[in-house]
Structure 1
Amino acid sequence: MDNQVRVAVADDHPVIRMGIEATLDDISFIDRIGSVADSTQLVALLDTQPCDVLVTDYAMPGGQYGDGMELIAFVRHRYPDLRIVVLTSMEKLALIRGLMTHGINAVLSKADDMSHLRAAIQATRTGRRYYSPRIANLLKALPATGSARLSQRESEVIALYVGGDSINTIAEKLQRSKQTISTQKVTAMRKLGIETDADLFKYAIELGLTRKKPLSD
């Protein structure tokens, strides 16, 4: 039985990409099928080579298929059986939660040692979660409410708010008091680890939840 794991690498920084390659090439059960620098090259590779696990940078601009959450969503849809390990230098709780929402269970900080790649690949191949130390510490630092999912009403309020509606408008649409809507928004932001409206909109744009340009009244 062939136990080799076929791995593709995507990172637009040559030095980091070489570091990933060197780490993977020292792992006996890994067969590195190729390395790319943007999403255009990545899709070309995945369309022509069987692959089990993708190790990809989160921020990798310049390709035809975008980067960040846009690329993650595209890859998840086009290659549903592909497992994904995400590398990122952005240690933001909202980002990690966004990745989890998209079914990404292996996230590594670029500030941690590349040796974590081995455990991350093994974990994601068997459906387990793996976070490198800095990412794990970020998640552990959450308050108790931070581990809870958004309720249906909280999700509804956030979706309307980042879609351009004011608290008053949302209250009218949902036939609730302004105070209730405001409380649900604050609670949802606390669960997401988001402190400001500006960060909320950045998070929403990454997930494709909001318009990138505000609507005029």
Structure 2
Amino acid sequence: MNENNVVILDDHPIFLEGLKRVINNESEFIVTDCCKNSSELFFSLSLAPANIALIDCSRPKGDLNIKTLVDQLISNYPKMTIVAMGDCPQQQQLSDAMKPQIKSYFCKSLTPENWITGLRHIWTNHCQTQQLMLDDTVDTDNFIRQRLSAKEKIVVEYLYAGLSVSQTALRLSRSVKTISSQKRAAMRKLGLVRDSEIFRLDINSL
């Protein structure tokens, strides 16, 4: 199958419909279902398994919290890639605390182009990670030359999620100059030359 099935969990119908249209416009992805709560999600997955689950960090009252939800998804669908969505730094921090179960975090204000770019990178990284697991001769230390600072790590994760330097600066309430400096420092430590190489990282090992 050429397409990667995507299921979306979010209780905002306008956002759901918009994101579905953005993703379905690309031939390599297809949204199999849009769910408003965890019960709908598990029912949907029982009928049509997905490769990627986009999960809103903000869960409605009475629904499973994000941690319990992700734990149950991993237990039932261990090969599925889970991506958290949110719109504030606290939600990204929550997502970061749940790695490696959650593979990445996408800001809900991303442009349509960045949503697709982010999904492509997530799926490419997933496939590369699976290959690394099969090849025990690969030295994972090659991904990290030096330890990144906490701020550098956050900047790299935002860039990996598809945000630009300007968007990252806005999200983190820092200047573009500061983010650019931290990006250069992180790339130097990681041994990266081109921006595109950021998307080839095993982001969960940072």
TM range (shorter): 0.5 to 0.7
CA contact (8 A) 2:23 2:116 kept: yes
CA contact (8 A) 2:5 2:32 kept: yes
Partner in structure 2 of residue 82 of structure 1: 80
Partner in structure 1 of residue 125 of structure 2: 127
Map Cα deviations across residues 11-56 of structure 1 (whole Å, 9 max, x no partner): 1001111111110121111122111101110011111112111112
Aligned length: 142
In 2, the alpha carbon distance for the partners of 1:36 and 1:63 equals 15
Partner in structure 1 of residue 108 of structure 2: 110
Gaps (5+ residues) in structure 2?
Answer: 127-156, 173-177, 187-206
Partner in structure 1 of residue 22 of structure 2: 23
Map Cα deviations across residues 145-166 of structure 1 (whole Å, 9 max, x no partner): xx9xxxxxxxxxxxxxxxxxxx
In 2, the alpha carbon distance for the partners of 1:135 and 1:21 equals 24
Q: Structure 1 residue 105: deviation in Å?
A: 2.6
Partner in structure 1 of residue 43 of structure 2: 44
CA contact (8 A) 2:5 2:31 kept: yes
CA contact (8 A) 1:3 1:29 kept: yes
Amino acid at match of 1:89: D
Secondary structure of the equivalent of 1:41? helix
Partner in structure 2 of residue 6 of structure 1: 5
Q: Does 1:56 align with 2:55?
A: yes
In 1, the alpha carbon distance for the partners of 2:161 and 2:71 equals 20
Map Cα deviations across residues 69-122 of structure 1 (whole Å, 9 max, x no partner): 2212221222100012221012236324213x2432321111222332212222
In 2, the alpha carbon distance for the partners of 1:59 and 1:69 equals 11
Q: Structure 1 residue 63: deviation in Å?
A: 5.8
CA contact (8 A) 2:117 2:162 kept: no
- 118-127 vs 13-22, greater mean Cα deviation: 118-127
In 1, the alpha carbon distance for the partners of 2:116 and 2:43 equals 25
CA contact (8 A) 2:8 2:55 kept: yes
In 2, the alpha carbon distance for the partners of 1:74 and 1:114 equals 29
CA contact (8 A) 2:7 2:34 kept: yes
Query: Structure 2 vs 1, CA of residues 86 and 94 (structure 1 numbering), >3 Å: closer, same or farther?
Result: closer
Secondary structure of the equivalent of 1:85? strand
Query: Structure 2 vs 1, CA of residues 9 and 63 (structure 1 numbering), >3 Å: closer, same or farther?
Result: farther
In 2, the alpha carbon distance for the partners of 1:35 and 1:122 equals 20
TM value normalised by structure 2: 0.59
In 2, the alpha carbon distance for the partners of 1:111 and 1:68 equals 20
In 2, the alpha carbon distance for the partners of 1:48 and 1:3 equals 19
Runs of 4+ more than 3 Å apart: 134-138
State, as a whole percentage, how many aligned pairs show the same letter: 19
